[in-house]
Structure 1
Amino acid sequence: MVIETYNLTKQFNDKGGFKNISLSVKEGEVFSFLGKNGAGKSTFIRTLVGMLYPTDGSGFILGKPIGNIEAKKKMGYLPELFQYHSWLTGYQLLFNHGLLYKMNKNDLKNRISEVLGIVGLKGHEHKKINQYSKGMKQRIGLGCAILCDPKLLFLDEPTSALDPVGRKHVRDIILRLKNEGKTIFLNTHLLSEVELVSDRVAILDKGEIKKIGTLKELMYSPLVLSIGNCSEKIISELKSFDPCLQKIENEIEMHIHNDEVIPKIAESIVKNKGLLYMMKRKENILEELFIKTVGEEEEA
């Protein structure tokens, strides 16, 4: 495992932070922490990268205890709402980061060229950062995070301040890195980002994990049907596929975990003279699950 934690806890005067988190992250997966602002997501990442000392529990990164220098050399980290020296050019920023990593200068120049290509900033590297758009600033930040060609990448809310185009650029970079075999730990409160890039998800609320699993495990969506001439006989036959189906106004919701029975459901409706106007998977299941898990109240 790339990340392993055992009852890992970080509290500030016995409050805030997170508590008793046990999880594992496999090599090559995108693992997302989903939670409202203030849920403890950033504190968890800062603890994993060694910026904060845990209050209790233990954790291992790339097989080494949290804070191990050798493990840190193989990690990249993009903080939330980072600020870099605005008077530097993009190239200068990357070069200085490379020196902090103690990279060979010749190797560093080649790597900077590669990174600029990955983050889509070739041709803009000699502009000062204060001339960059928000999206470009976020991408140069990603460039700093991947400069050392890390095995493990921590991204803390990498798209929260961006417009849809900027979010897509960052998302494309994440998927490219995933395809290269990188392991990515992503913090976000944006449901759409989780659905589009994640292999597994943990929902965090008030510092505790409430649910964890693959997206399929967490949000297998019900089948929604709209049926005309919906007789009791039709309902009776549909219950053979889902005894707990629900009729909500003019629609029927069924939980079907084997798509091979869907044609049989349609056949059953038609042969009993029903009119099948619509059959589709319910949308926004992750949003529904998230709200049920963490509630709708605003953070104080």
Structure 2
Amino acid sequence: MSTEPNAAVADAPQTATPDSADASSSVVIETRNLSKIYRDFWGRKKVHALKSLDIEVRPGEIFGLLGPNGSGKSTTIKLILGLLFPTSGRVLVFDQDASETSKNERIGYLPEESYLYKFLTADETLDFYGRLFDLSASERRDRVSQLIEMVGLQGAKHRQLKEYSKGMTRRVGLAQALINDPDLILLDEPTTGLDPIGTREMKDLILGLRDQGKTVLLCSHQLADVQDVCDRVAILHQGELKELGRVSDLLKVQDVTEVHATGLSDAAKTEIADVIARHGGTVQSIDNPTATMEDLFLNIVRESEARPGARRVSQGSDAASANDGSSDSDGGQA
């Protein structure tokens, strides 16, 4: 079993002055010129995992660490938890040095792989983690019941975890990360191995945490996950911070104007294109918008559950065209 959320080496925190406390009250996590070098047995530099990282995570936001494998995301999380010591620079969490273990009482952590006892039930698993945080029996009972309901496992709470699917196991892992009602939740690749439905459910749970006023740091290499749930994002590559900002700002194409309208005839579209041309613009495309593959998949599943046996056929598909043609043919024969 992993005890990573509590496995930190104590170090006396610096006393904050009133001015510095006020200035940092709007920051939950702050990294200052943070660097980490992994060395081999002989002390020779093996990997420069993190290079002079400067980020701030604010209260009540979902902050994404995005990057390919090996970009330094998991190293950053371990430094925040105090599981690793920085080679240089500093990490502050709740105005305390990351090596101060008392901060972990306010942190929940979901690692990329949840190390849970497979012979325990969900109830027993959460009760066990509640004991690690010295919760009373009544507190554990209430908290376990709330979390089981929140992650949607009421019908399976008495089954052993070895009978759980990957998605169910991840939901138990999220519940154990929340057993101490933390102010800050660190999620390392929370949707790893989940199917589209499980991924959507996990993202909805993460959004629900923000609605509760929690601060979430989400580490992922899945672009859709970060785009769907994060308020701000830091993009890492080979240990370096490449981009930082709000997701909406980073994705916005500044030199392209997008107009959405319904009920336009072909003549109206032509007229609009002529107006744009008269004003020196260039019409790149006039077409119907497209949904994401995730939206399409989830809509099909929901419709299938609502109407078992019915086949969903899009209006523009070859099947629909064939059906229209056969109807016309039948009409001609009649």
How high is the TM-score relative to the length of structure 1? Answer: 0.77
1:255 lines up with 2:256 in the alignment: yes
- Partner of residue 268, structure 1: 275
Alignment of 1:213-292 (within 5 A): 213-221=245-253, 254-256=255-257, 268-269=275-276, 278=286
Alignment of 1:161-180 (within 5 A): 161-180=193-212
Distance in 2, Cα, partners of 1:160 & 1:125: 22
Contact 2:273 2:283 in 1 (8 A): no
- Partner of residue 287, structure 1: none
Correspondent of 1:5 among 20, 31, 36: 31
Deviations 1:269-289 (A, max 9, x none): 3769x99960688999xxxxx
Distance in 2, Cα, partners of 1:181 & 1:265: 45
Cα 1:2–1:66 change in 2 (3 A) is same
Correspondent of 1:51 among 73, 83, 91: 83
Q: Offset of 1:110 from its aligned partner?
A: 0.3
Deviations 1:162-206 (A, max 9, x none): 110110111110010011110000000111001100000111000
Structure with greater helix share of residues:
2
Structure with greater strand share of residues:
1
Question: Cα RMSD between the aligned structures?
Answer: 2.7
Correspondent of 2:214 among 182, 192, 198: 182
1:211 lines up with 2:243 in the alignment: yes
- Partner of residue 98, structure 1: 130
Cα 1:218–1:87 change in 2 (3 A) is same
Contact 2:122 2:172 in 1 (8 A): yes
Contact 1:270 1:276 in 2 (8 A): no
Sequence identity percentage: 36
Distance in 1, Cα, partners of 2:67 & 2:290: 22
Distance in 2, Cα, partners of 1:33 & 1:125: 32
Alignment of 1:94-133 (within 5 A): 94-133=126-165
Could you say which structure has the larger radius of gyration? 2
Distance in 1, Cα, partners of 2:68 & 2:205: 24
Cα 1:140–1:276 change in 2 (3 A) is closer
Unmatched segments (≥5 aa) in structure 2: 1-26, 40-44, 261-268, 293-334
- Partner of residue 155, structure 1: 187
Find the residue that maps to 2:276 and give its secondary structure.
helix
Distance in 1, Cα, partners of 2:246 & 2:207: 17
Find the residue that maps to 1:123 and give its secondary structure.
helix
Correspondent of 1:145 among 177, 187, 195: 177
Correspondent of 1:86 among 112, 118, 127: 118
Cα 1:268–1:187 change in 2 (3 A) is same
Q: Offset of 1:65 from its aligned partner?
A: 1.0
Tell me the amino acid that sits aligned with residue 7 of structure 1.
N
Distance in 1, Cα, partners of 2:60 & 2:52: 25
Q: Offset of 1:256 from its aligned partner?
A: 4.1
